[in-house]
Structure formats: C-alpha cells, structure tokens
Amino acid sequence: PVLVVDFGAQYSQLIARRVREADVYSEIVPHTTPPHEILAMDPAAIILSGGPSSVYASDAPGLDEAVVTAGVPVLGICYGFQAMAQALGGSVERTGRREYGQTVATVEDTESTLFAGQPGEQVVWMSHGDAVIQPPEGCAVTASSPGAPVAAFEDDERRLYGVQWHPEVLHTAHGQQVLVNFLSRGAGLERTWTSENVAQQLIEQVREQVGQDRVLCALSGGVDSSVAAALVQRAVGDQLTCVFVDHGLLREGEAAQVEHDFVEATGVDLVVVDARQRFLTALSGVTDPEAKRKAIGREFIRVFEQAARDVVQDRGDDDHPVKWLVQGTLYPDVVESGGGAGTANIKSHHNVGGLPEDLQFSLIEPLRSLFKDEVRQVGLELGVPESIVWRQPFPGPGLGIRIVGEVTAERLDVLRRADLIAREELTAAGLDRDIWQCPVVLLADVRSVGVQGDGRTYGHPIVLRPVSSEDAMTADWSRLPYDVLARISSRITNEVEDVNRVVLDITSKPPGTIEWE
Ligand code: XMP
C-alpha cells in the first residue's frame, strides 16, 4: 500500500481518499508507528500528512530519518513537508509570516515530476506559520509562494518530494494532479485499485475466511449493510442468511426496496421479521431522545437474537454451524477507533446489527478497508440497486428520532408522507447527490395556528434539515434553491393533513447536530 503517515487525522483521511481516487490503494498509520514497522509493511510509497503542530513545538510529532532514507518514494505535505526537510538536513524557520487559506504559488519548474503539465501560477490552499528556508541537499526547489520561499522541492534520484500546501483539498486547483504525478511519475505505481478489482479481492478474502461455515447478516436497508451482504452472498452464496427487522421506523418504500429489489438483484436468502407493533409498544410514552434510542437499540437486539436462534435452528446443520456475523464497518471507523483518544458520547449511536454477546459469533467485516464512496462503487459493481447504493445516510433508529415527542403510528404516518414529498422534490430537482442528507422532522408536540380554505387550522410544523457534509462529523446547511423549497412546502402543507407549516433548519454542525434527537 501507499502509507499515509498521520500527523493530524483530519488531513490524513482526505489524503488516503484522494490516493484511492487515483486508483492506488492506501492506508493510514499513526505517526507514532516505529519506523521499522512502517517499513515492514512494505510501502509502495509514503505520504507524510499535514498536522496542527509546529516542528519547533516541544511536543511536535517527530519524523525518524529512517523513514525518508529507506529508498521508498516519499511525498511530504505541509507539516510533513517541513518535518521531512528537517529530517534530511534542510532548515525550517519561523518566518513570522503566516499563510492561511488561498494563496497563489509560483511553480518554478513546470517540467518537474510533481508539476508536469501544470500552469506556472497555481491557486493553492496553505495553512502554515513556519516555512522551509533551505531545502535539503540534493533537493531542487520547484515552487515558491509569498510566505514560503521553498514551497515545493524534489529529488528525483532519491524519489523524495514535498509541497508546503495541501494538494488533497479541493480549493487547491491542481492538487489531485500533484498527487497523481507523485504516484505515477514519482513512485511509478500502477492504477490497480479499481472497483472491479476491489470487489474481486474482497470476495476472495471472504471466501477464504468463511470456508464452509454459515453466515448471518442483519440487513438495515442502509448502504453499508446492503453492500456487505451482497459481497458475502457473492462469495459464499446460500451459506449466508440475511435478517431484516422491520421496526416500522423506515421511510416510505424502504422496506419494499430491501424485501423485493435487493433480494431480486442479489439473490440473498432473506428472513423478514415484522416487529412493527413491538417497537411501537416499546416506544409508547417515551419522549426523551436518549431513552428512545436505548429502547430502539434494546428491542432491536432482542428481535435479532430471536431471529438468529430461529435461523440457527432452521438452517444450521451440525457440521456447519452459524459462525459468522457480517458487520458493515467502514475504514474511517477503523482509523478512528485505532486513534485512541476518547471522543465524547454526543448521542448513543446504536449500530443496527450490534452483536448480542451470548450469541458467540465471530465478526466478518468485509468493508473495513473501504471509504463510503468506495462502498458505493463496489455496490454498483455487485449489482446492488441504485436506489440502495445512492441512499443517503439514515440513522439506525430511523424515524423514531425524527419525531420530537412520543412516537405513534399516526405520527409516523404523517412524517412518512412529508418525508416522501421532500425526497420526491429533491430528486426531481436533481439535488440528491449535492446534499449529504435531508432529515425531515415532525415537531409533534408543537402546534401553530394557520388558515386553510376558509378555516382556522391548528397543526404541526415539519422541519427540513438539508445538509452538506463530507463525513457527517461537521456539516453546513444546504443552500437549496428557493423554488424547490417552495414546492416542498406547498405540497407538504396541502397534501399532509395535520401539517400547516414547513420550516427550514439553517444551523451548521457544530453547534447543531444533523439529526434533531
Ligand atoms: P448527528 O445527528 O450526530 O448525525 O449529527 C451524524 C450522522 O449519523 C447519523 N446517525 C446515526 N446513524 N445510528 C446510525 O446508524 C444512529 O443511531 C444514528 N444517529 C445519527 C445521522 O443520520 C448523520 O448522518
């Protein structure tokens, strides 16, 4: 793999994604990984990420010279560029001239490895206080900027490259080209990380891991569990049984998509458990968001446990017991959980399909090396229906946490109809892929006065919460066209009884979260 040495998580995941977008496999390792371990992973190239530190800070994460002198092609970015310069004997100084945000860099050598085929002036995204003053011996300066006399250097002989700015961010005009040039011209790597190859590799891995055993998968209708299931089914066929718990908190049409479209496209063996009444009972009288999440999580585990026992009884044979449980874990979860430092429990995200302890399955996580966009590509490759592959993120507790107030069958019905209208109009306007997701929320305990026809109404508001985001950790509210908002508002208030007002949530995250509960 191409190893991205992580000096600051925010940047390193983005770099790894960009490398993969260039069809080259990449993995992230923390900067605390000892050099011999890094080299033992046999990296095809190493990228040193940016980070928040100054190389002068007493707690600055260090870079061992061994990493940059082992003969492996290296690209240093921002902090990684400075750390690399320092490790190789160049000099880095606090110039007192900070550069932050968009800057114009001057490329001195447009024939160089990193900048071939690019213009001599480039808009780049900078974020630094220190600057490289003197490049390491043997490294030619290939770009400069007002605040960085040495904004890029390279040494083709030792295959060492660096840039002060961030090629991974979209604000850097030719950033992806710089990365591609490093990977192909600098490191001589081939573009083999394509969705076809990835799918094939993962299928083989699953086949090897599972052998003749039986596998169980909790299908939620979301992208991750669906693609994971499709992959496992392609690998081991009927050894896989999927369990879909219909908790009645799904949106209009979603249960049908799983029960019919998905099964038809993939041929999975599916057990559907109708637990709608059971969830309504468990949620009766519950209004506190955390209490709702806990109730839904608890019920889910119970229903799933029972279904799993039934499957074991019905389909397990003694020679080939159900041994594996599929989880749709993605690479960012793996990186983040390896990242150590505890994160605050803002909401108790229950992962649908959470492992009941006494069931004693081993976990199989076929997507744990993939980013979300790669999961989608692999899904398409496997023939998972587009309606599922392009589905926007939807929380495990479903509509249960989009009704502020108690969850009842009637309220679910109201919300489902409003949500369907919003989705229809967003799709018709071609906006599905521009927005990250658009929760539609029913304020069931709020009423306001309205007028309709010639009568007074006293109905509930619906909140639209369209957001744009890269990873759901932060988000901004989407600036949807007014005419689309107008159509959604007019249709919801006309077509959904009990709703007489539509409001727009214009809060970013932070301080708001994406969901309301
Ligand atoms: P928040 O509301 O925390 O949501 O900004 C961030 C992202 O996570 C989704 N979400 C969940 N997903 N189980 C899930 O699988 C959950 O309990 C859950 N709660 C929130 C939310 O839709 C958004 O994409």
Ligand 1 near 99 CB (within 6 A): no
Q: Please check the confidence at residue 77 and state whether its pLDDT lies above 70.
A: yes
What is the pLDDT at residue 502?
98
Catalytic residue flag (residue 166): yes
Lowest mean pLDDT among 91-105, 126-140, 266-280, 497-511: 91-105
**Ligand 1 mean position, distance from CA 335 (Å):** 18
Looking at CATH, the fold of the domain delimited by 195-389 is given as Rossmann fold (3.40.50)
Q: Please check the confidence at residue 350 and state whether its pLDDT lies above 50.
A: no
Contact 385/266 with Cβ under 8 angstroms? Answer: no
Catalytic residue flag (residue 438): no
ipTM beyond cut 0.90: yes
366-379 tens-digit pLDDT = 999 999 999 999 99
Q: How confident is the model at residue 357 (pLDDT cuts 50, 70, 90)?
A: low
Ligand 1 near 396 CB (within 6 A): yes
**CA diameter of the chain:** 84
Q: Provide the residue ranges of all domains of the chain, joining segments of one domain with +.
A: 2-186, 195-389, 402-504
CA gap 79, 61 in Å, rounded: 10
459-472 tens-digit pLDDT = 999 999 999 998 78
**Ligand 1 mean position, distance from CA 394 (Å):** 7
- Coil, strand, or helix at residue 28? strand
**What radius of gyration, in Å, describes the C-alpha atoms of the chain?**
26
Per-residue burial over 55-77, b if 16 or more Cβ lie within 10 Å, else e, is beeeebbebbeebbeeebbbbbb
Backbone angles phi, psi at 200, to 5 degrees: -60, -45
**Ligand 1 mean position, distance from CA 350 (Å):** 9
Mean pLDDT, residues 315-326 taken together: 80
Q: Please check the confidence at residue 117 and state whether its pLDDT lies above 80.
A: yes
Ligand 1 near 397 CB (within 6 A): yes
136-148 tens-digit pLDDT = 999 999 999 999 9
Q: How confident is the model at residue 347 (pLDDT cuts 50, 70, 90)?
A: very low
Q: Is 430 left (phi over 0), alpha (psi -120 to 50) or beta?
A: left
Contact 162/75 with Cβ under 8 angstroms? Answer: yes
CA gap 484, 331 in Å, rounded: 35
Backbone angles phi, psi at 471, to 5 degrees: -155, 10
- Coil, strand, or helix at residue 90? coil
For 402-504, CATH gives: 3.30.300.10
474-516 tens-digit pLDDT = 899 999 999 999 999 999 999 999 999 999 999 999 999 999 9
Out of 226, 515, 516, 517, give the residue to mutate to test ligand 1, the one with the largest number of ligand atoms within 8 Å of its CB: 515
Ligand 1 near 347 CB (within 6 A): yes
Q: Which residue has the higher pLDDT, 336 or 68?
A: 68
Catalytic pick among 99, 154, 168, 374: 168
For 2-186, CATH gives: 3.40.50.880
Strand 362-364 relative to strand 322-326: parallel, antiparallel, unpaired?
Answer: parallel
CA 352 to chain centre: 17
Query: Could you tell me what percent of the chain has a pLDDT over 70?
Result: 95
What is the pLDDT at residue 305?
86
Question: Which residues, 6 or more positions from 153, have their beta carbon under 8 angstroms from its beta carbon?
Answer: 85, 132, 135, 136, 139, 140, 141, 142, 161, 162
Q: Please check the confidence at residue 55 and state whether its pLDDT lies above 90.
A: no
- DSSP letters, 255-288, are HHIIIIIIHHHH--EEEEEE-HHHHHHHHTT---
Q: At CA 490, angle to CA 486 and CA 495, rounded to 5?
A: 150
Peptide bond into 356 cis (omega under 30): no
Q: Cβ–Cβ contacts within 10 Å for residue 245, how many? A: 26
Strands (E), 39-90: 45-48, 74-77
Catalytic residue flag (residue 171): no
Q: Is 221 annotated as a binding residue?
A: yes
Q: How confident is the model at residue 346 (pLDDT cuts 50, 70, 90)?
A: very low
Q: Please check the confidence at residue 340 and state whether its pLDDT lies above 50.
A: no
Token pair in block for residue 310: 């039934």
CA 108 to chain centre: 37
Token pair in block for residue 15: 């770099």
> Helix 223-236 vs helix 195-210: angle between axes, to the nearest 10 degrees?
60
Q: Please check the confidence at residue 13 and state whether its pLDDT lies above 80.
A: yes
Mean pLDDT across the chain:
92
Residue nearest to atom 10 of ligand 1 (CA): 395
Give 449's strand partners: 458
CA distances, 301 to each of 103, 243, 472 (Å) = 52, 12, 25
Q: What length is written for the chain? A: 517
Q: Is 222 annotated as a binding residue?
A: yes
CA gap 416, 399 in Å, rounded: 8
Asked, colleague to colleague, whether 2-186 and 402-504 share their fold, the answer is no
Q: Is 26 annotated as a binding residue?
A: no
Ligand 1 near 195 CB (within 6 A): no
Q: How confident is the model at residue 316 (pLDDT cuts 50, 70, 90)?
A: low
CA gap 164, 145 in Å, rounded: 9
What is the pLDDT at residue 455?
92
